[in-house]
Amino acid sequence: MSGERSATGDRRSAARHGELGEASRPAPSALPRLGVLVSHLREEEKLILHAARARGLAVTPLFDRELVLDLSKANAGSAGLHVDVVLDRSVVHSRAAYTLHAVERWGIPTLNCFAATTICDDKAQTSLILEAAGIPTPRTLLAFSVAAAINACELVGYPAVLKPVTGSWGRLLAKMNGPAQAKAVLEQKAELGSFHHAIFYVQEYVAKPGRDIRAYVIGGRVIAASYRTAEHWITNAARGAISVACPLTPEIEELALRSCAAVGARLAGVDLLETPDGLKVIEVNTGGEFKGLMKTTSIDIPSEIVAEAIRVAGDGAPAASSVGNEPAFANGWPRPQYCSSRRSTP
């Protein structure tokens, strides 16, 4: 690959998308060069790019569909990738995972890290980690055949909820109200043919009070939370739920921070359910969408994300490590178990 051609498809490609702007000018040496991994530029990504440039960072959108990752190269520079930290905002999980793995191998720190995103992009893996950490979650069963999945539904009781192990935005969720409906839904899912659709993730149905809670964590701090309200039982903002302000309580903060520490996430939206037994964690979303949340808080979320990216790049941030070391966060929660933001030698 030519030295003039970057892994992003060169700077002219970014210019075509109208978002290169001030990134063509070198940033002050004290600030890291930020690469933002994107599938396309939504409102949130544009706000992040704007916030980074406002702080004087050289920032480049890394469009995942244009990336060419030369795995034979020993370092990022020789592969044409000239950034000091990568912020993952891709909506294509597979592309993000491979990219984060490659750039971490080249010694570039990432937000979030490859290990955390891999766990959180798989609901079954996330549930296994959260259960092992003693974090309250809805009862969840895994099965690998239609017959076994019907048995799982009987065990949790009807209605039962079926979710894909990968995916987001509330897609492909099903509430099964009885055995006949469960059999029809499960058989149809099995016919889809992919490996992931042959893993049946069955969860107890929790009657929500018309809402769930999205708590937003950045760098070991819950910066804000919102209720996502809807008449439908699926309360994702992508499915039309309305976000309203939710006061931060000690319980929300504790569960959100413990969940992020368990999976190794430094940036995440943690989704919680209100139940008669207290709050339960549904998911940890390293994609960290915040469009709805922005309408409920005065906190400048894009600027907070950029500040965390700078910390991850090494601007005074402690490196994440394994369990048993001193706390990473001022509130005393343990260091993330799976990630290391310490840069290796390229």
Integer Cα distance of 73 and 12 in angstroms? 23
Integer Cα distance of 81 and 58 in angstroms? 13
Cis preceding linkage at 236, omega within 30: no
Of residues 321 and 267, which shows the higher confidence score? Answer: 267
| Residue 262 is assigned to a structural domain of this protein | yes
pLDDT at 22: 38
Integer Cα distance of 95 and 90 in angstroms? 8
pLDDT tens figures, 103-135: 999 999 999 999 999 999 999 999 999 999 999
Evaluate if residue 326 carries a pLDDT over 80: no
| Residue 180 is assigned to a structural domain of this protein | yes
Q: What integer is the mean pLDDT of 19-43?
A: 70
Question: What range does the domain containing 295 cover?
Answer: 211-312
Q: What integer is the mean pLDDT of 79-107?
A: 95
* Two tokens, residue 52: 């980074």
What DSSP character marks residue 343? P
Q: What is the 3-state secondary structure (H, E, C) of 101-117?
A: HHHHHCCCCEECCHHHH
Buried b (16+ CB within 10 A) or exposed e, 67-101: bebeeebeebeebbbebbbbbbbbbebebbbbbbb
Name the pTM for this structure.
0.81
The beta strand positions in 188-241, using DSSP E, are 200-204, 211-218, 221-229
Evaluate if residue 245 carries a pLDDT over 80: yes
Evaluate if residue 340 carries a pLDDT over 70: no
pLDDT band for position 345 (cuts 50, 70, 90): very low
Integer Cα distance of 90 and 264 in angstroms? 18
Integer Cα distance of 85 and 107 in angstroms? 9
| Residue 228 is assigned to a structural domain of this protein | yes
pLDDT at 76: 92
Count how many residues are written for the chain.
Answer: 346
Q: The CATH number of the domain where 199 resides is what?
A: 3.30.1490.20
> Do 192 and 246 fall into the same domain?
no
Q: Facing residues of 212 across strands?
A: 228
Pairing of strands 211-218, 110-111: unpaired
pLDDT tens figures, 46-56: 999 999 999 99
Task: Return mean pLDDT, the chain.
Answer: 82
> Do 32 and 107 fall into the same domain?
yes
pLDDT at 113: 94
pLDDT band for position 238 (cuts 50, 70, 90): low
Least Cα distance to 145 among 187, 185, 177 occurs for 187
The pair phi, psi for residue 291, each rounded to 5°, is: -60, -45
Final residue before a domain boundary, out of 95, 111, 127: 111
Integer Cα distance of 125 and 263 in angstroms? 10
Q: Strand, helix or coil at 129?
A: helix
* Sheet of 242-245, strand order: 242-245, 221-229, 211-218, 267-275, 278-285
Domain count for the chain, please give it: 3
* Two tokens, residue 30: 């004290």
Evaluate if residue 250 carries a pLDDT over 70: yes
Residue percentage of the chain with pLDDT more than 90: 65
pLDDT tens figures, 279-325: 999 999 998 789 889 999 999 999 999 999 999 998 433 334 332 23
| Residue 266 is assigned to a structural domain of this protein | yes
Evaluate if residue 256 carries a pLDDT over 80: yes
> Do 103 and 156 fall into the same domain?
no
pLDDT at 242: 86
pLDDT at 239: 61
pLDDT band for position 197 (cuts 50, 70, 90): confident
Evaluate if residue 336 carries a pLDDT over 90: no
Residue 94: partners with Cβ closer than 8 Å, 6 or more residues away: none
Integer Cα distance of 37 and 177 in angstroms? 40
Q: Strand, helix or coil at 310?
A: helix
Integer Cα distance of 312 and 308 in angstroms? 6
| Residue 129 is assigned to a structural domain of this protein | no
| Residue 61 is assigned to a structural domain of this protein | yes
> Do 16 and 107 fall into the same domain?
yes
Evaluate if residue 10 carries a pLDDT over 90: no
> Do 269 and 189 fall into the same domain?
no
pLDDT at 166: 85
pLDDT at 193: 64
The pair phi, psi for residue 115, each rounded to 5°, is: -65, -45
Pairing of strands 160-163, 174-176: antiparallel
Evaluate if residue 229 carries a pLDDT over 90: no
**C-alpha angle with apex 146: 140 to 150, nearest 5 degrees?**
55
